[in-house]
Structure 1
Amino acid sequence: MAKYTAFVSLLFCLLLVAATEMQMIEGKYCWKKSHKWHGPCQYSDRCSQHCKHWFGAEYGICKKYQWGHKHHHWANYACYCYSPCH
């Protein structure tokens, strides 16, 4: 019985450590549209520099967003900044 309890306890510890490591590796990123970016976003490298400078973000990406009424949409690109979620 003691061997069985020790085995189950060890297995539980290994699963707990594995679950913790998985959460740290995943590391979710949260995004926010840059309110300091003016005009269309054409180059993600410039957007990334902008996000790092102004917001201390990890990186930035030019991403398409929809603007307008239900029947008439204009596709445009805006600068979105990505940082680790807190």
Structure 2
Amino acid sequence: MANPRHIVFGTAGHVDHGKSALVLALTGTDPDRLAEEKAREMTIDLGFAFLSLPGFEEPAAIVDVPGHEMFVRNMVTGATGIDAAIFVV
């Protein structure tokens, strides 16, 4: 595959199903960066991380979105522009 394009993954799943934990395990980057997210133990705003993939010149981007219905606007914002979803059940 010659010069594959940059790919953007987005997480998808209900609150507290481990989306952020999966991003941390895959990339070593904790996408929950806000103090309020740490205190409430839930994603509130979009989180970002990068993952090197074989055959790609550029690392893949991962957008970690909130799973709680109170933050659905942030989730929709994060879903804009993704190429594929990582469903966490």
TM-score (norm 2): 0.24
TM-score (norm 1): 0.24
- Could you say which structure has the higher helix fraction? 1
- Could you say which structure has the higher strand fraction? 1
